[in-house]
Amino acid sequence: GAVVSQHPSWVICKSGTSVKIECRSLDFQATTMFWYRQFPKQSLMLMATSNEGSKATYEQGVEKDKFLINHASLTLSTLTVTSAHPEDSSFYICSARDLSSGSDIYEQYFGPGTRLTVT
Amino acid sequence: GQNIDQPTEMTATEGAIVQINCTYQTSGFNGLFWYQQHAGEAPTFLSYNVLDGLEEKGRFSSFLSRSKGYSYLLLKELQMKDSASYLCAVLDSNYQLIWGAGTKLIIKP
C-alpha cells in the first residue's frame, strides 16, 4: 500500500526559531499533498494544499508567511514553521493522494504526524 | 456553510455492536470516508462510500444515504483495540475533504 513518512516525528524548539517538517511519499508519486494541524481532542484542520511545482493554497486564517510550504518534487513536501511561538505547538500531519493507480477513490494516505512543542 | 455532525463520544462493551452516525451538509458530494485515529497517531483509512447502500469489510461496515445526507459506521464484535476516534469526512465538489470533529469510542470490558 501507499506509504507516507514524516520527519521528525517530534521536535521541541525555542520560541522565535524555525522548524522544518518533511513529508515524503515512499512508494508513489504525489502530485498533491495536504498539511493538517490537530490540537488535542480536536479534529483535523486543513492548513494548506500543496501541489508539486506550484504555490501552495492556504486555508482561510492560515498565515502563508508563517507556515512556508514547498513541494519541490513528486515525493517531497516540506512545511516550515517560522518564528515559532508556544501557540504553534500542535500535532502536524501531512497526507498525499496517489492518483497514478487510476483509483477514483481519492483516498488520502496520512503520514505518522509530527508533534511540535515550542517552549 | 459546510457542516459535518457526529457524536462527540460513545461507549460500548467488548464483543458488542456499535453504530456511529454522521450527517453532512456540503457543497457537492464526491464520496464519504471513515477514518480511525488512535490517540497520538495519524488517521488510517477504514472505508469509502460514494453510492447509496452498505459496504461491508470484515467487522466494519459503512452505510450511505445521499438523499438524507447521512452515513453510519457499524463496528461488530468490538475489541478493546477498537477504542479510538472515528472521523467522518466528505469529499466536496472541489475534491476537498471536509472533516467532522470525530467520535471518541470507548470500549469497556
Q: Check CB contact of B102 with chain A, cutoff 8 Å.
A: yes
Q: What is the rounded average pLDDT of the residues B66-77?
A: 97
Quick: pLDDT tens for A38-70: 988 788 899 999 888 888 999 999 999 999 999
- Residue A102: the pLDDT is 60
- Residue A55: the pLDDT is 87
For cell 486555508, what's the residue? A59
pLDDT of A103 over the 70 cut: no
- Residue B50: the pLDDT is 93
- State whether A107 and B42 contact (CB < 8 Å): no
Angle (nearest 5°) at CA A4 between A13 and B30 = 115
- Residue A99: the pLDDT is 64
Measured between CA atoms, how close is B60 to chain A, in angstroms?
Answer: 18
* Window 36-95 of B, Cβ < 8 Å to A: 40-45, 48, 50, 87, 91, 95
- Residue B2: the pLDDT is 82
- State whether B42 and A111 contact (CB < 8 Å): yes
Quick: pLDDT tens for B11-54: 999 999 999 999 999 989 999 999 999 988 889 989 999 999 99
pLDDT of B1 over the 80 cut: no
- State whether B97 and A108 contact (CB < 8 Å): yes
Contacts of B84 (CB under 8 A, 6+ apart): B36, B37, B38, B39, B104, B105
Q: Check CB contact of B106 with chain A, cutoff 8 Å.
A: no
Q: pLDDT band at A104, cuts 50/70/90? A: low
Residues of B in contact with A51 (CB under 8 A): none
Q: Report helix, strand and coil shares of chain A as percent, to nearest 5.
A: 5, 50, 45
Q: pLDDT band at B5, cuts 50/70/90? A: very high
To 10 degrees, the CA torsion angle through A39, A42, A44, A45?
-70
- Percent of the residues in chain A that have a pLDDT greater than 70, as a whole number: 92
Q: Check CB contact of B101 with chain A, cutoff 8 Å.
A: yes
Which 3 state secondary structure label does DSSP give B81? Answer: helix
